[in-house]
């Protein structure tokens, strides 16, 4: 069934329609929006909410007529001298001439107490008309999240922004910036995993993780380097992306260096440091240079770090995975010839402060060392933590970003050993 707000072809018009419709239906939300947009209280008395129309000319126009006349996207006024004129942009550039025409039109119609608001994906490089408030769609989304508790229309609008962002990203329309911000991962028994939504959430999470100062300072991540060029797939059970290290420099192939990966699977989130098959030979030699005892000591240090940051939380498992793959062709899905995945705590007898721990079985970690030291295949190592959707208490909050970062930081001994 078509969404209630999908009444136009252009994304800007769809989003404006969703906004203005929600404000029209919820007058308390409308008054709060005016305060958020202008910094002042809404005028006393009823307000009129118009979309792609001028006061006194409130008939619905077709798309061609709207484009020809260049009308403001939204207009809120009090039938007297107060007005809030709204221009919305997603991909199109905010034009100073267009805002100037909106201001002149409003003044000619007697609106002396005038506010101009531009809603954009990214702030313009050049200055625009004086007095224009410029806010991002992400600012609106954050504000809506604060209104959801007592406004069904705020919830509808926020949900539509998420849905539209998923559609636009899927269609390759939303290339720069976002409409929403990361607020957690909602998947679980009552909210089944969806590939396209997982892709949207991953994109938002990586934007914020890439800019974290703790990762930049302690792991020297490259905040200016993007991860995967394009995240492809259809109805897949997982989606992933990565952060590069500054020490990777201009290496064309990210698989020459260890990297930080987030994967959203249909049952859990995975935060890991990957040692890829194609890693440079000197890094592999460094990793194995201390013999088996030195190798185990690295992983014990990782476990201690994970214990300090995550040990008192439910639904998190410190994990190690070794995968042997075989690719029949360059672009085909690989054959998985071997997969060893285990709880890192099995390698050591101490509990290290975890609420519960599995039985000790150090042979799993010994098998990893043996496989890497006698490597004769396409072999990848991953170390980090799994966060179970229905068990981890802060999965559906922004706090999960801190736990992802803490997991990577705990894996610092592995990175330092390979790249001194």
User: Which pLDDT does position 66 carry in this prediction?
Assistant: 47
Q: CA-CA distance, 184 to 398, in Å (whole number)?
A: 5
Question: Chunked in runs of 10, what are the mean pLDDT values of the chain (420 residues)?
Answer: 58 88 96 96 92 70 49 91 93 84 89 94 79 93 94 95 87 80 94 91 94 96 82 74 90 86 96 95 95 97 95 93 87 86 91 83 96 94 96 94 98 96
User: Which pLDDT does position 250 carry in this prediction?
Assistant: 74
User: Which pLDDT does position 70 carry in this prediction?
Assistant: 59
Q: Is 222 exposed, middle or buried (0-12, 13-18, 19+ CB in 10 A)?
A: middle
Domain boundaries, the chain: 11-170, 223-418
User: Which pLDDT does position 92 carry in this prediction?
Assistant: 81
User: Which pLDDT does position 1 carry in this prediction?
Assistant: 38
Nearest CA among 80, 121, 72, 61 for reference residue 100: 72
Nearest CA among 303, 304, 305 for reference residue 319: 303
Q: Does domain 223-418 have CATH number 3.40.50?
A: no
3-class SS string, 321-350: EEEEEECCCCCCCCEEEEEEEEEHHHHCCC
Q: CA-CA distance, 342 to 375, in Å (whole number)?
A: 20
User: Which pLDDT does position 68 carry in this prediction?
Assistant: 45
Three-class DSSP category at 56: coil
| CB of 257 closer than 8 Å to CB of 247 | yes
Q: CA-CA distance, 55 to 46, in Å (whole number)?
A: 14
In DSSP terms, which residues pair with 242 in a beta bridge? 261
What is the DSSP-derived secondary structure letter of residue 252?
Answer: S
Q: Is 170 exposed, middle or buried (0-12, 13-18, 19+ CB in 10 A)?
A: middle
C-alpha R_g of the chain: 26
């Amino acid at each position: 069934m078509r969404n209630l707000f999908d009444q136009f072809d252009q994304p800007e018009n769809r989003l404006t329609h969703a906004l203005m419709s929600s404000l029209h239906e919820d007058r308390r939300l409308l008054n709060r929006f005016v305060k958020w947009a202008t910094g002042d209280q809404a005028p006393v008395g009823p307000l009129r909410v118009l979309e792609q129309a001028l006061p006194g000319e409130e008939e619905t126009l077709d798309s061609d007529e709207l484009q020809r006349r260049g009308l403001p996207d939204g207009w809120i006024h009090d039938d007297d001298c107060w007005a809030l004129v709204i221009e919305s942009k997603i991909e199109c550039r905010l034009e100073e001439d267009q805002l100037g025409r909106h201001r002149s039109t409003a003044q000619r119609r007697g609106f002396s107490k005038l506010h101009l608001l531009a809603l954009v994906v990214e702030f313009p490089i050049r200055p625009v008309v004086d007095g224009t408030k410029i806010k991002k769609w992400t600012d609106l989304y954050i504000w809506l999240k604060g209104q959801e508790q007592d406004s069904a229309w705020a919830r509808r609008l926020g949900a539509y922004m998420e849905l539209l962002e998923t559609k636009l990203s899927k269609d390759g329309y939303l290339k720069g910036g976002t409409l929403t911000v990361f607020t957690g991962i909602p998947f679980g028994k009552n909210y089944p995993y969806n590939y396209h939504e997982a892709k949207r959430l991953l994109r938002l999470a990586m934007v914020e993780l890439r800019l974290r100062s703790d990762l930049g300072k302690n792991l020297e991540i490259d905040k200016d380097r993007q991860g995967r060029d394009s995240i492809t797939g259809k109805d897949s059970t997982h989606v992933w992306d990565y952060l590069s290290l500054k020490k990777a420099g201009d290496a064309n192939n990210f698989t020459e260096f260890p990297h930080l990966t987030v994967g959203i699977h249909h049952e859990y989130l995975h935060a890991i440091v990957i040692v890829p098959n194609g890693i440079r030979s000197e890094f592999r030699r460094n990793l194995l240079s201390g013999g088996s005892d030195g190798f185990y000591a690295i992983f014990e240090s990782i476990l201690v770090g994970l214990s300090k940051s995550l040990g008192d939380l439910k639904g998190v498992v410190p994990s190690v995975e070794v995968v042997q793959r075989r690719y029949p062709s360059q672009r085909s899905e690989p054959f998985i010839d071997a997969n060893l995945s285990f709880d890192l705590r099995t390698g050591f007898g101490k509990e290290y402060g975890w609420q519960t721990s599995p039985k000790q079985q150090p042979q799993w970690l010994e098998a990893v060392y043996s496989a890497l030291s006698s490597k004769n295949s396409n072999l990848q190592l991953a170390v980090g933590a799994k966060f179970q959707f229905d068990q981890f208490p802060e999965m559906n909050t922004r706090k999960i970003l801190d736990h992802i970062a803490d997991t990577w930081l705990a894996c610092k001994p592995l990175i330092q050993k390979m790249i001194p």
